[in-house]
Structure 1
């Protein structure tokens, strides 16, 4: 006896998703095509559209914590970790570690004690609010960094802290949620032991999956299979770590860093690596387009209005604790590890510590049996809304005021001239093989050849003038050259392994020659 499908239920589930997808992609498209809207990061624009829908009481779908934590969060974390340079991360590891661990502790204690003292909120509930709001989510800020050409160092600090910060915040939340339920009692030694267990299992699984997949992809060259394996790795690492009692967030971050910095170098040729990177860029855009719209759509204005005192105290406490942690810990890092984080960069790290999807998911995951659950959710939503709309929309002004806008337009002009030069050189090389065009009149052929030569000469002159006017572009050219050499070496080893002429991978010897320009 066959199983009958239920097209009605399927249609009812599909329609809301298609509406969300249509609205979110329409908004994201308009944000890139309408000049007035281009000044607003598209994720923040999505939040505002979602708020507009919520204001007229149009609810698209129910934003459940499982939807964010298990479906949306792994690809967002993986994409960020895949693109995070290990060399830059290692250069700033001390500052990032301080902000991701000590910074979370400062945030949890500062927010919870403020709510407990000024509003009389029970400390176990206040601790949950603090843990939920300690997870930063600077998606919009990092996108703005890339668009404006902010320094790679600043981007690495912001992204690196956020990735590990999320993992630590989730672990802290899971440890604290049992206290109001009566299933856990707080003890410093027990909490520390649980913390290292969560993190250790997550790191171990991430490393195992990352390195195993890296070695596997050396054996074949199938771009779409390798692309699919990265998707399986992202979700598999998260689910396996959670199943074994570890941190799924930490596991995904670790596997993303391993595959992005090691696996993609030894097991993927440059073409495959580009395909995988483009795929994950699309996935991140797709997921962000949906999730930020749904965050705005979940706002309950009446609830927020009734809890304004709580929200106000939480916002003030969050801003002040972020101020203390960023400036205090950065100063400590500068002193102990010569991190060289300038006060301008510290200011951006402080004001750019937005809250978003992870905070929302943690708040919604609080069990129904916990008292004051709705107050907790309303506080978190209110604070997230403040960070996205107030801090997020003023970040460009802050960057410009601190003179941290980079030379992205200049780099774009340089990249375009280099690309035109390469394309015209290939056209000219083809034209030099005159036998390939026997049907073309000789005089017309020479005319066209002279046109191409003239265009190539013009491009070379512009490129030379640009390099002379902006000597810093020599560092960009040198970096691209070093990366090309490293790609050729890594691709050769992978090809020899696929052909059976090499049994095991060789570490690239040119890795020591790849120099990074000073990000400061």
Structure 2
């Protein structure tokens, strides 16, 4: 019963934390409040929650990564693909190699494979935590998109590198050839499983819906189970379940452009997934605070094994880790922006929105690399024992240091980003403005065409009725679609009400299909398409 009460208390802490950050006058990110509440919960129940690492990983990461892949702007991924690849792969591998050796040199009791594993798991960044920090001083859309794209892929690269390092720590041998082959299999097979599993399940779902109709509740449950199915199948094939979940999310986003789902399904599904994201992210930070007392005690024992009896050495290790992470990120970002700007100046790359590699902007990108849920979920999966049954070396210390990196990165970003952002200029996204205008024009044209067609059909099939009345009906429909206030009440019989409602629904369907067509042909981003479709869905639901 205590475990049930503990779980309910953690959910309540997530709810309370999101209320507190709105009440407190100073800008404190929700993750920090959640960590503090988790610490208080641990003291109240006087014991921690025993975690099964594999179960923890399986329950928390697939839905979060699936949602990241589903909602991220694909246009941003394509536009900033070089920068995202640099930050998500090159920086991750530099972090694993560089920080791993620093940790092994600083903490001899931590074997090099364990140091590599710790360096790998602190490499993924968390844009959700950054958004919580910068809610009062928002990041520019281009910068936010770059961080989100980086996070989507460095989750995968960092976790794959983490698993390779853990396998090496458990007694496996290492060679460049076998590691490369293993990495390729994990990556390519994981991506393929995610795509094929999602497409196959969506095909079966479409066949069922066409035959028996769509039920919003069942559709939502279907979307919730998709990431777990992809993850499970990939793991059975010894591929990357993480990449399978990401690929499943991306595949789902493209399938969404077909527009087959009902408006009610889309609206309810978004609400449910927002709740899932809020709950899982929040519980992970509460869980971090709840585990801190036990983690701290275990870390002190490991420090004493190194010959240092002062727990202050834990702070030295943590500061060294955070400094190394920021320095590596700063150098990588600066080199990328400098090279990008140089190619633009010599005409090898045309990009009017290229940002200059000034130190302040690079510092913003470096500090914005906040660690969060993925780092916590991953480090908790460190095995409890080695293959021979002996305790996993420096496990508690690794978990403690990863936890401190999360907390320190959150604190650093919450203190430094708001004043820095006030002095950083970032090129405006003129492309987004053009796409919004294009989507607006498409909506107006498609709805007007649909209304005109329905109007002609009404006049043709009802020659005895007044054409002026149908014309007034068409004007009201177009006014409602333009989000204008409804006109004065009009006396209508039930037949005319049904005709007007049908006219408006047909116009909404035409406008929505026009938006999806623009997205499928890459004339607007999927992000703008979702925003426009959501507005149309709201109008349709309001009519219901």
Normalized against structure 1, the TM-score is what? 0.74
Residue of structure 2 equivalent to 1:375: 397
SS of the counterpart of 1:134?
coil
Superposed displacement of residue 174, structure 1: 1.1
1:354 aligns with 2:376: no
SS of the counterpart of 1:328?
helix
Superposed displacement of residue 252, structure 1: 0.8
1:210 aligns with 2:210: no
Q: Do the aligned partners of 2:99 and 2:321 also contact (CA within 8 Å) in 1?
A: yes
Change (3 A) 1:345 1:78: farther
Residue of structure 2 equivalent to 1:285: 278
Structure 2's unaligned 5+ residue stretches are: 301-310, 386-390, 434-478, 495-507, 529-544
Residue among 151, 175, 180 paired with 1:162: 151
1:100 aligns with 2:91: no
Residue among 223, 236, 249 paired with 1:256: 249
Change (3 A) 1:266 1:421: closer
SS of the counterpart of 1:177?
helix
CA deviation digits over 1:13-39, x for unaligned, max 9? 32211121122212222323x1526x3
Between 1:118-127 and 1:83-92, the stretch displaced more is: 118-127
Change (3 A) 1:401 1:426: closer
Change (3 A) 1:310 1:43: closer
SS of the counterpart of 2:292?
coil
1:487 aligns with 2:512: yes
Q: Do the aligned partners of 1:60 and 1:294 also contact (CA within 8 Å) in 2?
A: no
Matches within 5 A, 1:64-103: 64-103=52-91
SS of the counterpart of 1:299?
helix
Residue of structure 2 equivalent to 1:151: 140
CA deviation digits over 1:268-303, x for unaligned, max 9? 244432322222111101112211111122213554
Superposed displacement of residue 126, structure 1: 1.8
Change (3 A) 1:171 1:236: same
1:432 aligns with 2:490: yes
Q: Do the aligned partners of 2:66 and 2:227 also contact (CA within 8 Å) in 1?
A: yes
Q: Do the aligned partners of 1:154 and 1:345 also contact (CA within 8 Å) in 2?
A: no
Q: Do the aligned partners of 2:88 and 2:154 also contact (CA within 8 Å) in 1?
A: yes
Superposed displacement of residue 83, structure 1: 1.1
Residue of structure 1 equivalent to 2:100: 112
Residue of structure 1 equivalent to 2:523: 514
Matches within 5 A, 1:5-404: 11-32=1-22, 34-36=23-25, 39-53=27-41, 58-59=46-47, 61-120=49-108, 121-144=110-133, 148-182=137-171, 184-219=172-207, 220=209, 221-300=214-293, 301=296, 303=299, 305-306=311-312, 307-333=314-340, 335=343, 340-343=354-357, 346-367=362-383, 368=385, 369-403=391-425
Between 1:189-198 and 1:268-277, the stretch displaced more is: 268-277
Distance 1:518 1:282 in 2: 20
Q: Do the aligned partners of 2:71 and 2:527 also contact (CA within 8 Å) in 1?
A: no
Change (3 A) 1:55 1:15: closer
SS of the counterpart of 1:427?
coil
Residue correspondences, number:
435
Q: Do the aligned partners of 1:94 and 1:337 also contact (CA within 8 Å) in 2?
A: no
Superposed displacement of residue 105, structure 1: 0.5
Superposed displacement of residue 395, structure 1: 2.8
Change (3 A) 1:50 1:223: same
Q: Do the aligned partners of 1:82 and 1:256 also contact (CA within 8 Å) in 2?
A: yes
Q: Do the aligned partners of 1:109 and 1:127 also contact (CA within 8 Å) in 2?
A: yes
CA deviation digits over 1:397-429, x for unaligned, max 9? 33233256999xxx9xxxxxxxx9869846316
Superposed displacement of residue 256, structure 1: 0.6
Q: Do the aligned partners of 2:122 and 2:402 also contact (CA within 8 Å) in 1?
A: yes
Structure 1's unaligned 5+ residue stretches are: 1-10, 412-419, 437-482, 492-507
Distance 1:263 1:226 in 2: 12
Q: Do the aligned partners of 2:21 and 2:29 also contact (CA within 8 Å) in 1?
A: yes
CA deviation digits over 1:235-266, x for unaligned, max 9? 11112111211111111111111112333534
Change (3 A) 1:486 1:23: same
Q: Do the aligned partners of 1:215 and 1:267 also contact (CA within 8 Å) in 2?
A: no
Q: Do the aligned partners of 1:211 and 1:263 also contact (CA within 8 Å) in 2?
A: no
Residue of structure 1 equivalent to 2:499: none
Superposed displacement of residue 137, structure 1: 2.1
Residue of structure 1 equivalent to 2:541: none
Change (3 A) 1:82 1:393: farther
Distance 1:122 1:291 in 2: 27
Distance 1:341 1:68 in 2: 40
Change (3 A) 1:260 1:298: same
